[in-house]
Amino acid sequence: MTEVLSNISPPPGAVASISDASPVHYTVKIELFSLLAKNAVEKYETGVFEAGGYTWKLVLYPSGNKSRNVKDYISLYLAKVDASSLPLGWEVHVIFRLFLLDQNKDSYLVIQGQERRFHGLKLEWGFDQFIQLSTFNDSRYGFLLEDTCVLGAEVFVRRERSRGKGEVLSMIKQPTAAFKHTWKIENFLKLDEKRQESQTFSSASEKWKILLYPKGKDFGMGTHLSLYLAVDLETLPAGCRLYADYTLRIVNQVKDRKLDLSAKAKHWFGASRSESGWTRYVSLDYIYQPNNAYVIKDICIIEAEVNVLGISSPF
């Protein structure tokens, strides 16, 4: 036992020991190990096993993890499986031991590192330099005999928790084309000061609507038309916020569309601020003038374009 350990340097930050007991959680026997490299198998993932109430697998790089510039070593890791089924914010603290059978002495070389924290952004821990290939291939150590080796793992959960409240902000790298909704309002001149709402429409799987105050709102009351975009809170998941780039316009129905009355803005929509727009969108005197062509045959047409750029979700 002393002779074996004296000739083997454990990976950085780990300790090596010898055990006569087999690994309690998982064992994998690999026959014709040399064919992995000959057949360009750079990575091998074992089947799934359960330990400590969680599912795991071993990830083996028979010629070293090239993505980390490892050469002349076998790389071996423990990886968490099915993390998507766990709640956001989960984390589990684990001590694990990885085993390599000395077939000459029927005992195991055991490599153990520090306690590690597995979570949504770190699903894999282990050793880039699990064992040097020259040592592994040397039959005097018994790790590879008749081109066969046996590996194993033990996983012990020390503590686990789901973090307190938080949120995930997901910005959209390539937003889809802005969704356009057209609202045709009849009997426009007969509308009083009551708020008018368009039918709801969808953009980025969320529901929206246009809000119109024909006689104005707040500082625009009696002098201006007020116009807003609002997210439908009944369909917005609790605690969610949407960052949207939007345009509202009143269509010129006779002349060039370049004469449309347009306004553009960006806003975080959520329960605390579900609508955004302008109290003084356009003066009532201006929009009611027949020659301006915004109200024709008592019809006004309003358009909305909405492009969702980011979503903030709680956990």
Is the per-residue pLDDT at 58 higher than 70? yes
Both tokens of 49, joined, read 């096993």
Contact 220, 226 (CB under 8 A): yes
With a CB cutoff of 8 Å and minimum separation 6, the contacts of 50 are: 25, 56
**What b/e string do you get for 17-52 counting C-beta neighbours within 10 Å, with b at 16 or more?**
eeeeeebebbbbebeebeebeeeeeeeeebeebebe
Q: Of how many residues is the chain composed?
A: 315
Is the per-residue pLDDT at 84 higher than 80? no
- The C-alpha atoms of residue 237 and residue 250 are separated, in whole angstroms, by 31
Percent of the chain surpassing pLDDT 90: 77
More confident residue, 68 or 2: 68
Write out the H or E segment, with its range, that includes residue 283: strand 275-283
pLDDT band at 174 (very low <50, low <70, confident <90, very high): confident
- Give me the mean pLDDT over the 138-146 stretch: 96
- The single residue listed with the structure tokens 């105050």 is 213
pLDDT at 252: 96
- Give me the mean pLDDT over the 139-151 stretch: 96
Task: Please give the mean pLDDT across all residues of the chain.
Answer: 91
Task: Determine phi and psi for 46, rounding to 5 degrees.
Answer: -75, 175
Among the residue ranges 82-86, 129-133, 298-302, the one predicted with the least confidence is 82-86
- In one-letter notation, the amino acid at residue 265 is A
pLDDT at 205: 78
Both tokens of 116, joined, read 């590690």
- The C-alpha atoms of residue 4 and residue 6 are separated, in whole angstroms, by 6
Both tokens of 160, joined, read 């686990």
pLDDT at 1: 44
- Give me the mean pLDDT over the 182-189 stretch: 96
